[in-house]
Amino acid sequence: MLTRLFFVSLLVTTLAVADDVDAFMDGFDEEPLSTVVQPQKEEAKFSLSNYGIEGKFKQEFAYSYQNNAPHDRFSSLRTSLFLEYNRDLWKSFKFKINGNGFYDLSYKMKGEEEFTKEELNALQSEVELFDAYIQGSITDDLDIKLGRQVIVWGKSDTIRVVDVLNPLDNRRPGMVDIEDLRLSSAMAKFDYYYKNWDIAPIVILEQREDKNPPYGGDFNPSPIKQPLQKKPNDVTYALNISGEFTGFDLDFYYAHVYPNFEFYPRTDVNIENKIDMYGAAIAYVYGSLLLKGEAAYMQNYEFLQTGDEKFDRLDMLLGFEYNGIADTTLSLDIANKRFVNTNEFKKDNYQGAFRVTSDFKNATVHLNYLVSAFGDTFSDGGYQRAWIVYDASDSIKTTFGVVDYLKGNSFFDAISDNDMLFYDISYSF
């Protein structure tokens, strides 16, 4: 109950006093000690960025205040290092590669024997190659991007409808946004520009699976090991035709791909069977409103529990973002995923997501709140998260927040004790 009260209080405070808080905090700005600026001799400083290298060191803490052992108290003490290298090649071509490695000390502190080997393999340490691609212009009208990359489809930042190309890291659901969860895959993407249109055929060269909560982990309530599915290692393809016009942009999509794992509406998708997706998305600006719409018709879904029987699904999303309040953005997305040719299971499956983001102190303090819920009345489980980000300097950033898992279906009932406080501090160089 205290957690719910915290979320409600933060939301009301964010909406009601945004301008007042910013003005109040401005009062603490330090007065300059002197109006006379003494010229200083510039000194050459060593910087990795001069060699195309950038990075970020990050320390994360997560505290589960109502979970049971061994996932109680400090459930994560993760130290990570992200490195990126950029280099200009010839003409307009450039090369980019980045990756991340982490080690979670909490497993060593609590005793590794308390955890399953699946959880230790997945969450104790990891080295991950993210992007690794070459990008450039072949002609004035034709670009190419070849290598491991993320391609984002759709207009929603919270709910996936047409965004089917990249798998996700689902190991800690609800903790971060989708933009930080996508896993890069090797693809060849071509962009041909004709007037207001960008025609982008895509060849998907690497079939990667989602990273899901491991057996024995605090987000995997199954008492038995689930069989691991592996996508066949062949080539699939996709196409995006997008247009930008005054006040709106429009996209059309087609993909012949292996589906990704879904927590909702069904978790038993056969990811070894290809589906066809025909989709469209639109974003329209009307004053302070950004109106969004997405639709996707998915053909040939298979589920592990229904054998070779094929199912089609129509996914639709409507949403908006409102920027009419100073330094504040409100957004609401509602989606329906409807199975159109079956009476074997529930046809209509709804998901809603509401988000508030507000900036203070010259956009160095950011308050955020997100609630995502499932079901006809949005009572079939979900989560809500509130967090504060403080940009202490150009290179140092801290985040503090709390996530609350909402009961409503068997999965969220089982993980509802995973509510946690989280804090991290990062240094970028």
Per-residue model confidence as pLDDT tens digits over 355-368: 999 999 999 999 99
- Buried/exposed 295-307: b ≥16 CB within 10 Å, e otherwise: bbebbebbbeebe
Mean pLDDT (whole number) for 17-22: 48
Classified as helix, coil or strand, 391 is strand
Within a domain: 31: no
pLDDT of residue 25: 46
Q: Is the per-residue pLDDT at 319 higher than 50? A: yes
Contacts of 414-419 with C-beta under 8 Å, sequence gap 24+, read 414/221, 415/218, 415/219, 415/221, 417/64, 417/66, 417/67, 417/68, 418/64, 418/67, 418/71, 418/75, 418/218, 418/219, 419/3, 419/64, 419/65, 419/66, 419/67
Backbone angles phi, psi at 130, to 5 degrees: -90, -105
- Tokens 């709804």: give the residue: 350
CA distance 241 to 228: 35
Rounded mean pLDDT of 9-16?
A: 48
In a 3-state reduction of DSSP, which class is residue 417?
helix
Q: How many residues in the chain? A: 429
The one-letter amino acid code at 77 reads: L
Sorting pLDDT into bands at 50, 70 and 90, what band is 5?
very low
Contact 275, 259 (CB under 8 A): yes
Distance CA(6)–CA(2), nearest Å, equals: 6
CA 212 from chain centre, in angstroms, equals 14
Predicted local distance difference test score (pLDDT) of residue 39: 57
DSSP state, residue 32: P
Q: What percent of the chain has pLDDT over 90?
A: 75
Q: How confident is the model at residue 410 (pLDDT cuts 50, 70, 90)?
A: confident
Query: Band of the pLDDT at 347, cuts 50, 70, 90?
Result: confident
Burial class (CB in 10 A: 0-12, 13-18, 19+), 149: buried
Between residues 87 and 23, which one has the greater pLDDT?
A: 87
pLDDT at 27 > cutoff 50: no
Please, which pLDDT band fits residue 387 given cuts at 50, 70 and 90?
very high
Mean pLDDT of 182-201: 98
Q: Token digits for 191?
A: 């962009």
Torsion sign, CA atoms 103, 108, 109, 113:
positive
Is 67 among the domain residues?
A: yes
pLDDT for 29 equals: 47
| pLDDT tens digits for range 223-255 | 888 888 999 999 999 999 999 999 999 999 999
Report yes or no: 153 and 292 within 8 Å, Cβ to Cβ. Answer: no
Q: Residue 406: give the domain boundaries.
A: 48-428
Q: Is residue 243 part of a domain?
A: yes
| Residue 160 placed within a domain | yes
Sign of CA dihedral 168, 169, 172, 178: negative
Residue corresponding to tokens 């038993």: 268
Give the mean model confidence (pLDDT) for residues 201-229: 93
Which pLDDT does position 397 carry in this prediction?
A: 97
Res 309 pLDDT > 80: yes
Arithmetic mean of pLDDT, 375-391: 95
Average pLDDT, the chain: 90
pLDDT over 70 percentage in the chain = 90
76 found inside a domain: yes
pLDDT tens digits for 255-303?
999 999 887 778 889 999 999 999 999 999 999 999 999 999 999 999 8
Instruction: Give the H/E segment covering residue 22.
Output: helix 18-26
With 70 as the cut, is the pLDDT of residue 75 above it? yes
Model pLDDT, residue 44: 63
User: What pLDDT is stored for residue 343 in this prediction?
Assistant: 76
pLDDT at 290: 98
The number of domains in the chain is 1
Dist. CA 71–CA 263, nearest whole Å: 22
8 A C-beta contact, residue 75 and residue 66: no
Q: Residue 210 is part of a domain; what is its CATH number? A: 2.40.160.100
In-domain check, residue 423: yes
Beta bridge partners of 99: 83, 129
Quick check: is 43 in a domain? no
Q: What integer is the mean pLDDT of 416-427?
A: 96
The answer as to whether 178 is a domain residue is yes
